[in-house]
Amino acid sequence: MSQDRSDSSSKSLSFPEERILLGPGPSPVPQRVLRALGAPTLGHLDPQYVAIMDETCAMLREVFQTRNPLTFPVSGTGMAGMECVAVNLVEPGDEVIVCVNGVFGGRMKDVMERCGAIVHAVEAPWGEIIPHEAIDAALEQFPKTKLVGIVHAETSTGAHQPLVGLADLVHAKGALLLVDAVTSLGGHELKVDEWGIDAIYSGTQKCLSCPPGLAPVSFGERALARMDARKTKPQSWYLDVSMLRKYYVGGGGGGRVYHHTAPINMTYALREALAIVLEEGLPQRIARHERMHQRLRRGLEAMGLSYIPKHSLHTLNCISIPAGADDAGVRRRLLEEYGIEIGAGLGVMAGKAWRIGLMGHGSTVRNVDLVLTALREILG
């Protein structure tokens, strides 16, 4: 009998139940992308793989809306992208400004400090955006600032940070603009070149609807010049772009220089996910995320539920838990009875907020109406 239970347990762990992922990430992954993961594994210098990798990087440029040659997927999740940008653009003793209005702004500050930077935080209450005037004032106060880091889509609070015009303020003071776009790439308008963004990173598991494991990054000319002028090596060998670029773009003679074994099958998956994005059309995909956000918002507000941020993301909806509701109990019932995952509040919002993600493949009428129906039944 015990052997039977062991076999049953082993089988359930090998084949987990499917969930409807409506939390802060990961998002649902299309079957096309999952099938791509199962394609034959190649060597990371195989001409077939290099061609696939080059095509993937070209597609990333389209989605980032940039011509930056150095646009590639870092081996690791979104936080590897954050670390990659930080360790390559910051040297010990550099002064940087980091905008903090949630968990991920705070995390960026931490990462910069670990790089040896002197960090000046521009803060706003959780759920609010950072006014450009506050950033401009900080640049005036700290004229030696070399970089300004800001989160476009603060996943912990659902706040959507305006970016248009910010680069002009930053560049006027001789600094670089770094953007965290983990929860906005492929779901919100994001124009790297037009908006003057110097370095940016994201993750595959949000609006791109690819499994977690890669972090798309892009570096502009100003960022490359800063890296080329470094006096010290980046503290991370694995994330050293001076070496990575020789693999993704090519060495002096145009050949690919081995750095580390790339995650071959994850690149297949990302390429397929990007193909789906471009087949839909980037403007159409962004508009779909907005429509689904508005549909969810109308339904939630009709139930008396309110949004926390005034400037809300379309991709991540952060709402106040109504008085008397059992935070964990509601989320548990959603998971057990409906197979729906939503997110809990983080940091100062723990126990006060629910986070409902509508990202990529999961941003559909079916999912919006299902989660609204489930919440009405549970909160009823």
Predicted TM-score of the model (pTM): 0.95
User: What's residue 15's pLDDT?
Assistant: 84
Q: What pLDDT was estimated at residue 14?
A: 78
Span 358-370, pLDDT tens digits: 999 999 999 999 9
**Res 5: pLDDT:** 47
Burial (0-12, 13-18, 19+ Cβ within 10 Å), 116: middle
Number of continuous H segments (helices) and E segments (strands) in the chain: 13, 14
pLDDT digits (tens, 9 = 90+) for 116-154: 999 999 999 999 999 999 999 999 999 999 999 999 999
**Percent of residues, the chain, with pLDDT higher than 90:** 93
Give, in order, the Cα–Cα distances in Å from 298 to each of 212, 289, 302, 320, 377.
Answer: 31, 14, 6, 15, 17
Q: Can you identify the CATH homologous superfamily of domain 2-28+281-379? A: Aspartate Aminotransferase, domain 1 (3.90.1150.10)
Which parts of the chain have pLDDT scores under 70?
1-12, 251-254
- Amino acid 16 reads P
The pLDDT, as a whole number, for residue 255 is 79
Cα separations (Å) of 250 from 44, 89, 255? 13, 21, 5
Q: Is 7 exposed, middle or buried (0-12, 13-18, 19+ CB in 10 A)?
A: exposed
Q: Top-level CATH class of 31-277?
A: alpha beta
Peptide bond before 26: cis, by omega within 30 degrees of 0? yes
Torsion of CA 296, 272, 68, 228, to 10 degrees: 110
Domain with CATH 3.90.1150.10 in the chain: 2-28+281-379
So what's the pLDDT on residue 380?
87
Q: What is the pLDDT of residue 254?
A: 63
Strand-pairing partners, residue 147, are 96, 176
Q: What are 219's strand-pairing partners?
A: 70, 199
pLDDT of residue 121: 98
Residues of the chain with CATH 3.40.640.10: 31-277
The pLDDT value given to residue 10: 53
CA dihedral 52, 86, 212, 34 (to 10 degrees): -10
Q: Where are the alpha helices (DSSP H) in the chain?
A: 2-14, 31-37, 47-64, 78-89, 103-114, 132-141, 166-172, 221-228, 241-248, 264-280, 282-302, 327-338, 365-379
Give the pLDDT score at 12. Answer: 66
